[in-house]
Amino acid sequence: MAERHVNVGWTEGLHARPASIFVRAVTATGVPVTVAKAESTPVNAASMLAVLGLGARGGEEIVLASDAEGADAALDRLAKLVTEGLDELPETV
């Protein structure tokens, strides 16, 4: 299973707008991804309610994971999005 440990780059954390950006980016990868805070149960990263339910704050570490084909590239792109607090999924890593 591929994993990326990243710190949330959005000051407000994964709430409202940033969570929406993140969920859309996950869906755009076409790869099933889970997200979790340290030592918590992973949730579906393509679910807005699940991502909001994490309550991940700015600067907090989260874990992105997937065991699907193409997971490494997808997780690299998502990790960049989350760490840099970007407004859209980067086209390249």
Residues with a catalytic annotation lie at: 15
- Residues 9-12: contacts with CB under 8 Å, at least 24 apart: 9/58, 9/82, 9/83, 9/84, 9/85, 9/86, 10/58, 10/82, 10/85, 11/58, 11/85, 12/58
